[in-house]
Amino acid sequence: MRALLAPGQGAQRSGMLLPWLADPAAADRLERWSDITGLDLRLLGTTADEAAIRETHVAQPLLVATALLALRRWLPTTEAVHAACGLVAGHSVGEFVAAAAAGVLTDDDAMRLVAIRGRAMSRACAPVGATGMTAILGGEDVAVAAAISAAGAVVATVNARGQVVAAGSAAALATLAANPPAGARLVALPVAGAFHTATMAAAVSDLRTAFDDITPGPVRVPMVLNRDGQITSDPGEVIAEMITQVAAPVRWDLCQAQIAASGVTEVIELPPSGTLTALARREMPTVARVPVNTPADLPGAES
């Protein structure tokens, strides 16, 4: 069985749309999604620098657009996704891609909603001052959790064994950096807020309002949820997840455990890929991994 994965914020890179725009259908979609989001996605995905695409309200629609262009180049319909994949999952904002792949959202609705999400998360950061996220690589689990708590930060993401993300105020993260857990390496992440924490409560409210206008489609491909790694075929549960997960921790470790336990033999990571297949290599070493960054990387594509 094959699982389809979509990466989250932080995976973005300059020029990531370039390999996909030779396809006229992709160019047309991108123009429509630029109108929907109010962003010049072509410019942002081809010539904009890393600083420009780091901003939350830019990075999130750009990531979803890139992944969806690749998905539709490979699997144009939900029926095609259903035939090719047994599970879908997305890391954080990647869940919008997963929901579109599963059939719960149309691609256009995914783009409209992710633009609202990015703006709402940016606004939620403003009242609380400078915040951010720091990856903690290595260290013993209990000691890592204790160091995060002692610094006044919280656990926002558990990606795998020995790979935790802390979030909080700039002061809390500075304290954590000055007092790292034994045996751990700390890396500041290229995001502009304490995502997946209670500071995102206002964004949850904005998303709930935005989703009021959505009539979800049926789940044609079961989706693995960030909150607990459980598999669902309930569209209402998918929608609830997408509204609330901005203020709740991402448990990608549980997602990977579920994927492995479900008998998956291959994972395909949509672009910009590399992050999730690297985690899979470590946590699911017997599962084949296909990171997709160009059309030639697509399963069955001619090199």
Paired tokens of 149: 């708590």
135: burial class by Cβ within 10 Å (0-12, 13-18, 19+)?
Answer: middle
Q: How far is the CA of 106 from the CAs of 1, 150, 180, 213, in angstroms?
A: 24, 43, 44, 13
Q: What are phi and psi of 75, to 5 degrees?
A: -130, 95
Is 92 in the active site?
A: yes
CA dihedral in degrees (56, 60, 62, 64; nearest 10)?
Answer: 180
Residue tagged active-site, from 34, 92, 169, 273 = 92
HSE (CB half, 13 Å, CA atoms) of 140? Answer: 4
Pairing of strands 250-251, 266-269: unpaired
The string over 146-171, giving b where at least 16 C-beta atoms fall within 10 Å of a residue's C-beta and e elsewhere, is ebbeebebbbbbbbbebbbbbbbbee
Is 91 in the active site?
A: no
Pairing of strands 288-291, 163-169: unpaired
Residue tagged active-site, from 57, 91, 196, 273 = 196
Place of tokens 């409210």: 205
Q: Cα separation of 121 and 125, whole Å?
A: 6
Q: Cα separation of 117 and 246, whole Å?
A: 9
DSSP string, 261-297: HTT--EEEEPSS-SHHHHHHHHH-TTSEEEE-SSGGG
Active-site residue list: 92, 196
